[in-house]
Every structure is written in C-alpha cells, then in structure tokens.
C-alpha cells in the first residue's frame, strides 16, 4: 500500500483520519496525498440566474475551504516531520498535495482508482450526510479499499485483525485487498456470526487459504446473544480481543435495505471505535 489518498476537510474528524493514514504509511513507507474535499456549488446553494452575488459568495467560501484544508494537511505533515514527496520512492512516509481537485464528492471515487487505499473519517450520524456520500463514492466508484478512521485517533493499526467473514463476494474482495496488512499482522481472527452469512465457503476454508499464503488465522463462529445483531456481535468480539482493525466487506445487503432496516455494514459504520477496512 504505497499510495494513500486522504480527502481533507477542515473539521475535528480529520485529526483521526490523518493519524490513521500516517499509521498505514509507516507500515509501507507510503506517499499520502491530500486534496481539499468540499461540496459542489449545487450542493451549497440554489443558484439565482438573475444575480451574480450568490456565485461570488460561493466562490469565496470555496476558496476559503480549500485554504483551510491545505493548511490543516500541511500542518499535520510538518508536525510529524513527514517530508514532501520528491518523485522517487522514499524509505519513509512522504506526502503530496493536489491543487487542482474539483469540488464535489464524486471526485473521491474517480480519482481514488489510482491509489492503493483511501482513508476517510467515520461518517456522521445522518445516513445522507455529506461524509456518507463521500464514503459511498469511494466504496462504489473507486474499486479500491477504504480505511475508515475511528472518532478518536488509534494508537496502532493492523497488529491484531478481525476478519468479519460472511462468505460473500464483498468480503472475499476486501480480504484480498487487506493481504498486505494481513502479512504483517501478529494475530488474525476470522469471525463468522451465525445467521448473517450468504452461500459460500466457510471461515475455516478462508483460514486454510490464508495459511497456504503463509498467513496464520484462527476461525471462530459466534452465536448472537440476547438482542444483539451481527454488527454488535462483531464489534463486541473485536473489543474483547483487543483488535486494532476490522476487515469488513461493505453492503452485502443493498444500500436501500440497510437505510430502511439497518444492517451489519451500517451498524459498524455508525459504532466502530477502531479502524475498519471496507470494500465492495
């Protein structure tokens, strides 16, 4: 994972996202690239065709958001003594900044296709919040894994990993995307929750496949207790084991179903207190 993309906003959630990105970069001597993430004009205001005043105000606000995001990103890199990327691969983490990023959350999904991982802050509580729109653009449009930072900055990353195995295509893809991290992990648990799987190979078969790749993992199967759903069961087990990463395929159920009825992906997105690597 040598290239990491961090869409940057000037808000409190960025502290954990940047700390998480740096933990990832330290594992692989990666280059962290940032750009200013801000809404498109249409997201900010309904334009008045008879007046230019609104457009001017929006442009000024847009320029200020770009400046604040860049100052935050560069300030973080300076504080942590991360050098600017010079064009050649370095033996330590480095950074770069994209000046020409357009507004709009869709850019995350399209530009993210050339990166090994996209790091985002955990979305807000609103299902249709801008941060959720950004996350879904990254998940559904980039074809790349997304590392979601917890609300508070993590102290470690991917030393003790829980793979949330539900036998699905999405989970298989995410596990494959996580292989660089799994090769470095000290402990890996493949966790299956009864009643929340689809037709497919068991966690034991996944553990066998990883073993042939030189990676040891322990498969376990859990029964939800009380009124706990699969998401609650997985998060509770991750906390019990002291995990510092969950590897979770996103949206085995449709987004619409999860909006109406909830689901494992939605619960983990809303409640995880540790980094989560997701892909679709």
More confident residue, 62 or 250: 250
User: Do 143 and 25 belong together in one domain?
Assistant: yes
Residue 210 and residue 114 share a domain: no
Q: Is the dihedral of CA 192, 196, 202, 208 positive or negative?
A: negative
For 188-192, what is the mean pLDDT?
Answer: 98
The answer on pLDDT for 77 being more than 70 is: yes
DSSP state, 158?
S
178 and 256, same domain (yes or no): yes
Contact 211, 186 (CB under 8 A): no
Q: Calculate mean pLDDT across residues 223-249.
A: 94
The reply to whether 185 and 70 lie within a common domain is: no
Return the pLDDT at 101: 94
Do the beta carbons of residue 20 and residue 153 sit within 8 Å?
Answer: yes
Half-sphere exposure of 207 (CA within 13 A, CB side): 17
Domain check: are 136 and 170 in the same one? no
Q: What is the pLDDT of residues 50-68, one digit of tens each?
A: 555 444 445 557 889 999 9
Say if residue 170's pLDDT is above 50.
yes
* Residues 90 and 68 occupy one common structural domain: yes
The answer, yes or no, to whether residue 125 has pLDDT greater than 90, is: no
The pLDDT assigned to 60 comes to 56
pLDDT at 234: 97
The separation between the first and the last C-alpha atoms of the chain, rounded to the nearest angstrom, is 18
Residue 154 lies in a domain: no
Return d(Cα 109, Cα 89) in angstroms, integer.
25
How many helices (H) and strands (E) the chain has is answered by: 11, 10
Q: How confident is the model at residue 263 (pLDDT cuts 50, 70, 90)?
A: confident
Q: Which residue, of 116, 149, 182, is where some domain finishes?
A: 149
On whether both 15 and 65 belong to a single domain, the answer is yes
Q: What is the mean pLDDT of residues 230-255?
A: 90
- Comparing 66-80, 116-130, 134-148, 256-270, which segment has the lowest mean pLDDT? 256-270
Q: Which residues, 6+ apart, have CB-to-CB distance to 211 below 8 Å?
A: 217
What is the count of structural domains for the chain? 2
Task: Let me know whether 179 and 268 are in one domain.
Answer: yes
CATH code, domain carrying 246? 3.40.50.620
Looking at residue 260, its pLDDT comes to 44
Note the helical H segments in 113-244. Answer: 130-141, 169-177, 179-182, 203-212, 230-241
In which domain, by residue range, is 57 found?
3-149
4-46: per-residue pLDDT in tens?
999 999 988 999 999 999 999 999 999 999 999 988 765 544 4
């Amino acid at each position: 994972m040598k290239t990491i993309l961090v869409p940057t906003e000037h808000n409190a959630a960025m502290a954990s996202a940047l700390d998480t990105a740096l933990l990832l970069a330290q594992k692989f001597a990666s280059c962290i690239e940032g750009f200013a993430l801000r809404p498109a004009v249409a997201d900010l205001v309904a334009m008045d065709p008879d007046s230019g005043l609104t457009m001017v105000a929006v442009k000024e606000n847009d320029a200020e958001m770009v400046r604040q995001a860049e100052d935050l990103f560069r300030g973080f890199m300076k504080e942590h003594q991360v050098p600017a990327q010079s064009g050649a691969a370095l033996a330590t983490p480095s950074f770069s900044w994209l000046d020409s990023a357009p507004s709009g959350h869709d850019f995350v999904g399209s530009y993210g296709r050339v990166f090994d991982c996209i790091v985002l802050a955990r979305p807000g509580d609103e299902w249709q919040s801008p941060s959720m729109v950004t996350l879904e653009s990254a998940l559904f449009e980039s074809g790349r894994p997304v590392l979601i930072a917890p609300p508070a900055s993590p102290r470690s990353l991917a030393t003790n990993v829980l793979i949330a195995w539900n036998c699905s295509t999405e989970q298989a893809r995410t596990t494959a995307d996580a292989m660089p991290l799994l090769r470095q992990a000290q402990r890996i648990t493949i966790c299956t929750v009864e009643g929340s799987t689809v037709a497919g190979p068991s966690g034991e078969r996944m553990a066998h496949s990883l073993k042939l790749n030189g990676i040891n993992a322990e498969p376990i199967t859990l029964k939800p207790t009380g009124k706990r759903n699969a998401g609650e069961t997985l998060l509770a087990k991750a906390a019990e084991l002291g995990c510092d990463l969950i590897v979770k395929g996103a949206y085995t159920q449709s987004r619409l179903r999860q909006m109406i009825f909830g689901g494992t992906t939605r619960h983990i997105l809303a409640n995880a207190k540790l980094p989560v690597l997701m892909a679709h």
